[in-house]
C-alpha cells in the first residue's frame, strides 16, 4: 500500500508545523520538546513555561502512555482489544476491563450520533481491503461478493454492549477503533500533562493535535496539511485556550488501481471508500469526538456533512472537496487563514442545519 506522505514529505510537513508553532517564541529555554514514534505516526509533545527537566519527565510518560494504549487497543494484536476480537470472532461473550468498556460505550454513543457513519464494527471490512496494517500492500480492490459478505456481518456497536458489562454478538464481529483512538490517546496525554501541573502544551500526533494554554504571550498556532500537496500547509489556525484539531483524509492511506484512488475511510453503506471529500478538519474541545467526527464527515459526503456535523455536536469544520474547493462552517471561517489566496476566495460557508 502506498502512503500519501513519504517519510521525507512527512518530515517537511512536520517542520512546517513546527515553524508555524514557533512564531513569536520568547525564550527558548521555556520550551521543551519530546518526539517519538507511536501508533504508526510521529508524535510531538511540546511544553511551554515548565522547567525542562519536569517537562521532559512528563513528556516521557506521554510516550509510555501512547505505547500502552496502542498495545491494549490494537484490534489485531494480543492486547485487550485483540483478545476481545478473538472471542467475538467465535461468537463467545467477553468481559473487558472497565477502561475498555468505557471506551466502547463512548465509541457507541458517537457511532449512534453519526447515524452509523462512524462504525467501529467495520473490522472485517477494513481487513478485507488490506488497510489493517502498514505492511500489507493491497494491489486491487476486493470482489463485490466479499465486500457484501463482510457488510452483512455489521452490527450496531451499542447492541453488543450488555448491561452486565459483557460484550457479545453474532460470530465474526470484529471491532476496529482506529478512527477514534488517536483522539482518545491525545486527550489522555493532555490529562497526564495537566496532572503534572503543566498548563501550556501541544500533543501533536502526525498533524492531529490538542493544545492547552498559550505559547507565552500568544495563542498556539498550527498548520493544517494540504490534501494534495504532502509538503504544503493549507491553512493556519490559532488555538483557543483548549482545543483539538483533527483531520481525516483520503491521502493518509491508499492505493491506486486502474487510475482510481482507494483510500482507508470506508463507507459502511456501500463497503467502498467514501467519495467526494478529500479531507475533513474538525476543531473541538474533545479530541476523541474530533477524531471520530472527522472520519464520519468524510463518509457523510459533500451533501450531507453539515447534517452529520450538527448531529455530532461539531461546530467548527473545514471540508476540502475532491476537486480542491473548501467549505467551512460559520464557526470555522473566522478561525482560519488560508495559505492559498485562490482557495481562500473560493471557500464556501455552509451553515449547519
Nearer to ligand AMP, 47 or 280 (CB): 280
The residue from 31, 119, 187, 243 that contacts ligand AMP (CB under 6 A) is: 119
Distances (CA, A) of 65 to 176, 184, 192, 249, 287: 20, 11, 9, 26, 16
Verify binding: residue 282, ligand AMP, rule CB under 6 A: no
Q: Which of residues 163-182 bind ligand AMP (CB under 6 A)?
A: 176, 178-179
Q: Which of residues 166-185 bind Mg ion (CB under 5 A)?
A: 179
Nearer to Mg ion, 59 or 298 (CB): 298
Verify binding: residue 239, Mg ion, rule CB under 5 A: no
The residue from 74, 85, 295, 329 that contacts Mg ion (CB under 5 A) is: 295
The residue from 130, 213, 268, 306 that contacts ligand AMP (CB under 6 A) is: 268
Verify binding: residue 252, ligand AMP, rule CB under 6 A: yes
Verify binding: residue 248, Mg ion, rule CB under 5 A: yes
Write out the chain in H/E/C secondary structure.
CEECCCHHHHHHHHHHHHHHHCCCCCCHHHEEEEEEEECCEEEEEEEECCCHHHHHHHHHHHHHHHHHHHHHHCCCCCCHHHHHHHHHHCCCCECCCHHHHHHHHHHHHHHHHCCCCCCCCCHHHHHHHCCCCCCCCCCCCCCHHHHHHHHCCCCCHHHHECCCCCECCCCCCCCCCCCCHHHHHHHHHHHHHHHCCCCCEEEEECCEEEEECCECCECCEEEEEECCEEEEEEEEEECCCEEEEEEEECCCEEEEECCEEEECCECCCCCCECCCEEEEEEEECCHHHHHHHHHHHHHHHHHHHHHHHHHCCCCEEEEEECCCCEEECCCCHHHEEECCHHHHHHCEECCCC
Nearer to ligand AMP, 40 or 216 (CB): 40
The residue from 281, 284, 295, 329 that contacts ligand AMP (CB under 6 A) is: 295
By CB under 6 A, the count of residues binding ligand AMP is 19
The residue from 59, 265, 282, 308 that contacts ligand AMP (CB under 6 A) is: 265
The residue from 45, 122, 198, 201 that contacts ligand AMP (CB under 6 A) is: 122
* Residue 122 grid cell: 467495520
Q: 117 with 299: CB under 8 angstroms? A: yes
Verify binding: residue 266, ligand AMP, rule CB under 6 A: yes
**Contact window for Mg ion (CB under 5 A) among 90-98, 128-136, 260-268, 286-294:** 286-294
The residue from 48, 66, 73, 131 that contacts ligand AMP (CB under 6 A) is: 131
The residue from 291, 298, 317, 327 that contacts Mg ion (CB under 5 A) is: 291
Nearer to Mg ion, 292 or 328 (CB): 292
Q: Which of residues 222-251 bind ligand AMP (CB under 6 A)?
A: 248
Note the residues at the interface with Mg ion (CB under 5 A): 179, 248, 291, 294-295
Note the residues at the interface with ligand AMP (CB under 6 A): 118-120, 122, 126, 131, 176, 178-179, 248, 252-253, 264-266, 268, 291, 295, 299
Amino acid at each position: 500500500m502506498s502512503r500519501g506522505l513519504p517519510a521525507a514529505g512527512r518530515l517537511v510537513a512536520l517542520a512546517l508545523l513546527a515553524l508555524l508553532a514557533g512564531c513569536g517564541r520568547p525564550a527558548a529555554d521555556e520550551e521543551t520538546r519530546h518526539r517519538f514514534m507511536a501508533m504508526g505516526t510521529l508524535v510531538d509533545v511540546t511544553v511551554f513555561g515548565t522547567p525542562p527537566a519536569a517537562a521532559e519527565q512528563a513528556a516521557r510518560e506521554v510516550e509510555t502512555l501512547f505505547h500502552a494504549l496502542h498495545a491494549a487497543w490494537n484490534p489485531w494484536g494480543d492486547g485487550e482489544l485483540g483478545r476481545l476480537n478473538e472471542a467475538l470472532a467465535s461468537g463467545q461473550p467477553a468481559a473487558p476491563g472497565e477502561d475498555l468498556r468505557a471506551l466502547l460505550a463512548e465509541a457507541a454513543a458517537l457511532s449512534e450520533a453519526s447515524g452509523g457513519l462512524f462504525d467501529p464494527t467495520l473490522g472485517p471490512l477494513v481487513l478485507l481491503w488490506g488497510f489493517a496494517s502498514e505492511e500489507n500492500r493491497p494491489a486491487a480492490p476486493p470482489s463485490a461478493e466479499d465486500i457484501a459478505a463482510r457488510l452483512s456481518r455489521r452490527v450496531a456497536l451499542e447492541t453488543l454492549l450488555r448491561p452486565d458489562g459483557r460484550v457479545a454478538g453474532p460470530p465474526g464481529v470484529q471491532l476496529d477503533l482506529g478512527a477514534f483512538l488517536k483522539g482518545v490517546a491525545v486527550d489522555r496525554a493532555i490529562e497526564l500533562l495537566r496532572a503534572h501541573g503543566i498548563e501550556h502544551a501541544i500533543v501533536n500526533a502526525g498533524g492531529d493535535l490538542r493544545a492547552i494554554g498559550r505559547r507565552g504571550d500568544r495563542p498556539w498556532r498550527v498548520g493544517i496539511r494540504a490534501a494534495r500537496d504532502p509538503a504544503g500547509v493549507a491553512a493556519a489556525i490559532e488555538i483557543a485556550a483548549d482545543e483539538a484539531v483533527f483531520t481525516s483524509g483520503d491521502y493518509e492511506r491508499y492505493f491506486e488501481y486502474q487510475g482510481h484512488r482507494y483510500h482507508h475511510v470506508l463507507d459502511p453503506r456501500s463497503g467502498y471508500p467514501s467519495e467526494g471529500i478529500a479531507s475533513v478538519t474538525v476543531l473541538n474541545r474533545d479530541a476523541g469526538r474530533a477524531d471520530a467526527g472527522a472520519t464520519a464527515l468524510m463518509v457523510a459526503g459533500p451533501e450531507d456533512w453539515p447534517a452529520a456535523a450538527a448531529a455530532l455536536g461539531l461546530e467548527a469544520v473545514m471540508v476540502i472537496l475532491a476537486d480542491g474547493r473548501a467549505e467551512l462552517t460559520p464557526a470555522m471561517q473566522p478561525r482560519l487563514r488560508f495559505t492559498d489566496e485562490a482557495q481562500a476566495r473560493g471557500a464556501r460557508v455552509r451553515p449547519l442545519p
